[in-house]
Amino acid sequence: MSKPVYNVVKRPGRAPGDADIEIPVAEDLVTVPGVPKRDADVAFYSREYPLQSQNIEKTADRDWVWTVYTDEFTKYRKGHEGRVQPLIDKALLSGDLEPTGAPEPGVDPTEKIRGKAREMGFGEVGFTRLDRKYVFAAKKRWVKFEHSICLALEQDYEQTQTIPDMEAEYAHYGTYEIMGELALALADYIRALGYRAQIHSPNDNSAAYIPMFVEAGLGQLGANGQLLSPHFGSRARLMMITTDAPVIHDKPIDYGIQTFCQKCQVCVNRCPGRALVRDKVWWRGVEKNKLIYDRCRPVMARYDGCGVCIKVCPVQRYGMKPVMEHYVATGDVLGKGTDNLEGYTFMEKGYFGSGKLPQFDHDFFDLPHGTREDWLFERFKQRLTEDGVPSADELTKFAEGVKTVLDKGPSTRGDE
Ligand code: SF4
Ligand code: SF4
């Protein structure tokens, strides 16, 4: 059944020079531009319970994943970390570099920067305020500038459709490697315009980036927890550059995704870990479908990064315009219920068409929680309860383990 159209969102074409696209938003999908939120609650949680990088808050499972990765994944991931290390080092210092040119009087740098970023290959580029409420506690003193340039680079389409598979991981991590290089060049360009630029690496995250992408109008938050951008859906990889250039901020947009996801639910139905939830909840002042981390992590770690929630999303697969046009014409979700959209092969478990899911034992979802030191103490408490006070040798080993962890210290690197 066709639907009345409330609004038509006009967005730039996929590549520079492409015609603009028009995305119809059906009347029954309309909510608010961006995401429904309660600003006072967002501010409260940010102040009292500041966001922290998973690489600091969840070091126990971040270490554990390396024990269950496949050999191929381990080898590739180590290579990736070696390749991005120099990029992260440069990004960390980028905010200290002085401009190399002088601003042209009366010239607005916004479209120059957008044009340059698009020409370099970033498919979605937007401007907003750097919202410190979303900056990780570990990086609050690092961030320097008030304007945020949100940059999304498309991950290869064909490779993404192989999810879950190493081929898709080459695309995932490979895209981050390309972005790291592009960011250095774009920051140089901003400095040549006469302004400063700080690179927020996609491999060393400084903040929850999605809220700022939503604020910049580059998409909306999907039920899969990812940014659904107009051209690439959740196939967009994200990073930011912040700057003191006086750029004009974009505005959030209602693409209809907030309600569309409640009608679609394909990612929720197809998630092998049953980690995605049907209903929205209010979380830290924002209304969203909140992913259950402990159900996702064991699947991602053992099955080549999983990512089924990316692959089966119709917005990723077909693009937002065809999906929304189909909804307006029929009231249906394009591809929903078909193996073409919903089917996937899950390594040794085989093929799962629409309506069928892999099964896992309860033990499969056991994983260490909290930080490395939390986890060491947790196991120590368990040892005391089950076997009494350990020997002097065991106590020394425990103390050495804690000391090694403390010496290693916290790091946001590898957060991607
Ligand atoms: S990565 Fe896999 S397990 Fe995690 S939410 Fe997505 S589909 Fe579910
Ligand atoms: S699969 Fe459907 S419900 Fe999930 S994020 Fe994509 S559009 Fe939303």
Contact 266 CB / ligand 2 (< 6 Å)? yes
User: According to the model, what pLDDT value does residue 416 have?
Assistant: 56
d(CA 122, CA 349) in angstroms, rounded, equals 36
In a mutational test of the pocket of ligand 1, which residue from 306, 310, 341 has the highest number of ligand atoms less than 8 Å from its CB? 306
In a mutational test of the pocket of ligand 1, which residue from 296, 313, 365 has the highest number of ligand atoms less than 8 Å from its CB? 296
Nearest alpha carbon, ligand 1 atom 1 = 307
How far apart are the two ends of the chain, measured CA to CA in Å?
41
Question: In terms of Cα–Cα distance, which of 234, 227, 312 is closest to 271?
Answer: 312
Kindly state the greatest CA–CA separation across the chain: 75
The predicted model scores a pTM of: 0.93
- Which ligand 2 atom sits nearest the alpha carbon of residue 233? 6
CA–centroid distance, residue 224 to ligand 2 (Å): 6
Q: How confident is the model at residue 414 (pLDDT cuts 50, 70, 90)?
A: low
Question: In terms of Cα–Cα distance, which of 254, 247, 86, 235 is closest to 152?
Answer: 235
- The pLDDT mean for the chain works out to 94
Backbone dihedral angles phi then psi of residue 143, each to the nearest 5 degrees: -65, 140
Nearest alpha carbon, ligand 1 atom 6 = 309
Please give the angle made by the CA atoms of 229, 230 and 236, to the nearest 5 degrees. 35
d(CA 133, CA 126) in angstroms, rounded, equals 19
Owner of token pair 């809220």: 211
Mean pLDDT of 231-248: 96
Q: Give one word for 97, left, alpha or beta, with left for phi > 0 and alpha for psi -120 to 50.
A: beta
Q: Give one word for 256, left, alpha or beta, with left for phi > 0 and alpha for psi -120 to 50.
A: left
Task: Output the six-digit token pair for 252.
Answer: 């959030």
Taking the mean position of all CA atoms in its chain, how far away is CA 122?
16
Backbone dihedral angles phi then psi of residue 200, each to the nearest 5 degrees: -100, 100
Residue 409 makes CB contacts below 8 A (sequence gap 6+) with none
Neighbouring CB atoms inside 10 A of 76's CB total 18
Task: Output the six-digit token pair for 414.
Answer: 């590898």
Contact 261 CB / ligand 2 (< 6 Å)? yes
- Which ligand 2 atom sits nearest the alpha carbon of residue 265? 3
Mean pLDDT of 228-254: 97
The 10s digit of each residue's pLDDT in 141-166 is: 999 999 999 999 999 999 999 999 99
DSSP at 351? E
d(CA 59, CA 40) in angstroms, rounded, equals 30
Mean pLDDT of 103-118: 96
Contact 319 CB / ligand 2 (< 6 Å)? no
Mean pLDDT of 107-114: 96
Mean pLDDT of 71-90: 94
The 10s digit of each residue's pLDDT in 5-38 is: 999 999 999 999 999 999 999 999 999 999 999 9
Q: Give residue 346's identity as a one-letter amino acid code.
A: F
Mean pLDDT of 389-394: 84
Percentage of the chain exceeding pLDDT 70? 98
Percentage of the chain exceeding pLDDT 90? 83
User: According to the model, what pLDDT value does residue 84 have?
Assistant: 94
**What are the residue ranges spanned by the domains of the chain?**
1-372, 373-408
Neighbouring CB atoms inside 10 A of 83's CB total 16
Neighbouring CB atoms inside 10 A of 20's CB total 8
User: According to the model, what pLDDT value does residue 415 have?
Assistant: 53
Q: What CA–CA distances, in Å, run from 391 to 352, 378, 381, 395, 400?
A: 51, 18, 14, 6, 14
CA–centroid distance, residue 256 to ligand 2 (Å): 12
The 10s digit of each residue's pLDDT in 322-373 is: 999 999 999 999 999 999 999 999 999 999 999 999 999 999 999 898 888 8
Q: How confident is the model at residue 384 (pLDDT cuts 50, 70, 90)?
A: confident
User: According to the model, what pLDDT value does residue 413 have?
Assistant: 65
Burial class (CB in 10 A: 0-12, 13-18, 19+), 358: middle
Task: Output the six-digit token pair for 296.
Answer: 């996702």
The 10s digit of each residue's pLDDT in 366-375 is: 989 888 887 7
Mean pLDDT of 394-416: 73
User: According to the model, what pLDDT value does residue 156 have?
Assistant: 96
CA–centroid distance, residue 332 to ligand 2 (Å): 13
The 10s digit of each residue's pLDDT in 182-215 is: 999 999 999 999 999 999 999 999 999 999 999 9
User: According to the model, what pLDDT value does residue 15 have?
Assistant: 93
Q: How confident is the model at residue 57 (pLDDT cuts 50, 70, 90)?
A: confident
Task: Output the six-digit token pair for 273.
Answer: 């870990």
Q: Quickly list H helices, 193-318.
A: 210-215, 257-264, 266-270, 293-302, 308-311, 314-318
Mean pLDDT of 96-101: 98
